[in-house]
Structure 1
Amino acid sequence: MQADRSMKMGHALNPFSTSAPLDATAGPSLIPDLITRIPSACAPGLGPRWTLFIAILAAGVLLVSCLLCVICCYCHRHRHRKQPKDKETVGLGSARNSTTTHLVQPDVDCLEPCSGGDQQWGRLLLSLEYDFGSQEIRVGLRQAGNLKAEGTADPYAWVSVSTQSGRRHETKVHRGTLSPMFEETCCFLVPPAELPKATLKVQLWDFKRFSEHEPLGELQLPLGTVDLQHVLESWYQLGPPGTTEPEQMGELCFSLRYVPSSGSLTVVVLEARGLNPGLAEAYVKIQLMLNQRKWKKSKTSSKKGTTTPYFNEAFVFLVPVSQLQSVDLVLAVWARGLQLRTEPVGKVLLGSRASGQPLQHWADMLAHARRPIAQWHHLRSPREVDRVLALQPRLPLLRPRS
């Protein structure tokens, strides 16, 4: 009885035995049973059955590898055939001559500025209007765009007409931008007979407080080629700066300091440079005007035999806050010329009626009270400054005939 039970349990625990009956309920043992019968049925002398598993596995790996190689080769040929010829890149790594890659294949960033030389200096928006009654041309300097500079700049502009020597309009300085919005208008007296030969000149500069200003571009527009019968407003391309700079009368460096509590205005005249070598005994006059009338004045000591006189002299004027908006400050460089007469070389006008850099210097002084603000200024023509101040020029004294 126990033997029968063990045999029954053995049959139940060993479903892979060859003596087990094959019925519908023995589905999971069908495949292993067939595998065990293959060596005995096909080749009884093959040896252990694990060799058959290794052979089948190696054949499967070899077949899959062959299929993958065929697919990769087909895809590579198909992609190579569809590539257009104009998109093929030229490799210059194997070239053994002195030709470099950036000379033959420039970068994409260099293609746009290198293709057009006029684009790299930027552009300028101007409006032109001519009044035939007053014979004046009104130039509206609107804005500039895409100026060329390293990083940002502090641009300002000079506007002049070739037929009016010594007459120039200077805009205020715009800080930290390459697309300044000027929105300034200036007028020049140009008779109709001089319009065909007159040229409008606009120069853009990068302001530097203590060094030479750097040019940013220039526009020269012949007025004879422009139809001034109507108001014109359009963009103009800037060109490279001119090789010849406008006539300079020199520069003057001074500092301004205003204390609102005491009403003291301190002017420190530091130095001048770029004066005419033919001048002698240069000195600086400081003049305050109140409501377009002469109010207070002073002057520095004279310096002989130098085109770069160094003064470093301070002057204090009492100006109440209530009168500050009605005050004009004029600094003039005087020197003795060839005729042994002392004449003004150039002037700088500061105050609410000033323009350009002097107006910016005056505004910086008011914005930073109790702090000295120093800056270089280009000297302007004395007649131009007197015209702004509405001063009448002095008539020369008649000398008696000998």
Structure 2
Amino acid sequence: MVLAYLCAPPPGLRWAPIAVAVVAGILIVSCLLWAICCCRRCRHHGKKPRDKEAVGLGSPRGTTTTHLVQPDVDNKGEPQPWGRLLLSLQYDFGSQEIRVGLRQVADLRAGGPGGTADPYARVSLSTQAGHAHETKVHRGTLCPVFDEICCFRVPQAELSRTSLQVRLLDFKRFSRHEPLGALSLPLGAVDLQHVLELWHQLGPPGAAEPEQTGELCFSLRYVPSSGRLTVVVLEARGLCPALAEPYVKVQLMLNQRKRKKRKTHARKGTATPYFNEAFTFLVHFSQVQSVDLVLAVWARGPQFRAEPMGKVLLGTRASGQPLQHWADMLAHPRRPIAQWHHLRPAREVDRTLDLQPRLRLPLPGS
């Protein structure tokens, strides 16, 4: 018994052979798995897949060419799709007025990366510089329906040398409006004995914009509860460099009568003056449909006498962008709405104040 006890292994070493065997088995299995993975990886790098070889444009063995992926289409002989304009013309030989009906536009090009635009139309005659009609702005569409009519007085003797010019523009509140297309229609080549309504193909917008008298940026804010109309004159640009000390007059008219007048300080030696001056007028909620707001840029000309360089009319007798700005102010009470406006000739604005009927705009809370 003593000899058997001496020959038996100690209790702590009885499991040592089993542990060594398990560790050895794990090492052998790991080596086998590593060898299999290496073999597969070598086979993968040594053989190219068929799909990559078929579409690899840089591989000399590829069967697909760049013309199949991105064909080179030659459109030099086809007109660019700028859109189409449905236009109606009617000439009254008695009053010597031409009525231009802007019906609708189809298939305009998107002005921005969003795939849509905020188009409006500007209509003018080649023989009447500075006299133009602007339609309402239509938001988020490439097929706007205008249904607006404007009139121009054209003597019959001038029809042969007069062209009707229509420009489609993408409205931008704080930057220059992007042109979308244009139409120039010689009236001498049109039979005005009958009422015409035809589709016309729009062409690319002209490189040169019609001569402008400048632009003015201001904001409007109306609070119906207190009747406070706040006008903040911000800045102007594009003014004639020969003018001296430009400033802005803000005039509020009620029922075609001058009621209140304010003006900014003059800015010396600049064609892009910055004002940032606010004026507040009290306009009762019941009177807001009868108000005309006129902003005029004045400056000293070569005769050293202050003259109006251009005006902007807002209110229910305005049209185009000024009418849209006024409507946005009423639709969003208590919030300032800022926008750039083209200055119109002073005589044209004065004529509009005398002749243009008022519109009924929806009021907040009505």
Whether the TM-score (by the shorter chain) exceeds 0.5 is yes
2:164 partner SS: strand
For 1:195, the aligned partner's letter is: L
8 Å Cα contact 1:257-1:266 kept in structure 2? yes
Say if 1:143 and 1:102 are closer, same or farther in 2 by CA, change over 3 A: farther
Q: CA deviation at 1:92?
A: 11
**Equivalent-residue separation in structure 2 for 1:274 and 1:103 (angstroms):** 47
Write the mapping of 1:234-313 to structure 2, written as runs, cut at 5 A.
234-313=198-277
**Equivalent-residue separation in structure 2 for 1:243 and 1:277 (angstroms):** 22
For 1:136, the aligned partner's letter is: E
Equivalent in 119, 127, 140 of residue 88 of structure 2: 127
**Equivalent-residue separation in structure 1 for 2:208 and 2:340 (angstroms):** 21
Q: Could you report, residue by residue, the CA deviation over 1:75-94 in whole angstroms, capped at 9, with x for unpaired residues?
A: xxxxxxxxxxxxxxxx9986
For 1:145, the aligned partner's letter is: A
Equivalent in 335, 339, 344 of residue 303 of structure 2: 339
**Equivalent-residue separation in structure 2 for 1:114 and 1:172 (angstroms):** 35
1:147 and 2:120 correspond: no
What is residue 105 of structure 1 aligned with on the other side?
71
Q: CA deviation at 1:116?
A: 2.5
8 Å Cα contact 1:92-1:101 kept in structure 2? no
Of the structure 1 ranges 290-299 and 313-322, higher mean CA displacement relative to structure 2 is found in: 290-299
Q: Identical aligned pairs, as a percentage?
A: 73
1:230 partner SS: coil
1:390 partner SS: helix
What is residue 67 of structure 1 aligned with on the other side?
none
Which structure shows the higher helix fraction?
A: 1
**Equivalent-residue separation in structure 1 for 2:176 and 2:61 (angstroms):** 46
**Equivalent-residue separation in structure 1 for 2:78 and 2:95 (angstroms):** 40
Runs of 4+ in 1 over 4 A off after TM superposition: 91-96
**Equivalent-residue separation in structure 1 for 2:243 and 2:252 (angstroms):** 25
**Equivalent-residue separation in structure 1 for 2:98 and 2:187 (angstroms):** 10
Equivalent in 132, 137, 159 of residue 195 of structure 1: 159
The count of corresponding residues between Structure 1 and Structure 2 is 294
Q: Could you report, residue by residue, the CA deviation over 1:45-91 in whole angstroms, capped at 9, with x for unpaired residues?
A: xxxxxxxxxxxxxxxxxxxxxxxxxxxxxxxxxxxxxxxxxxxxxx9
1:121 partner SS: coil
Give RMSD over aligned pairs: 2.1
Q: CA deviation at 1:213?
A: 0.7
8 Å Cα contact 2:130-2:212 kept in structure 1? no
Q: TM-score, normalised by structure 1?
A: 0.70
Q: TM-score, normalised by structure 2?
A: 0.77
Q: Could you report, residue by residue, the CA deviation over 1:283-334 in whole angstroms, capped at 9, with x for unpaired residues?
A: 0000011111111111000000011111100000000011110000000000
8 Å Cα contact 1:136-1:189 kept in structure 2? yes
8 Å Cα contact 1:255-1:373 kept in structure 2? yes
2:272 partner SS: coil
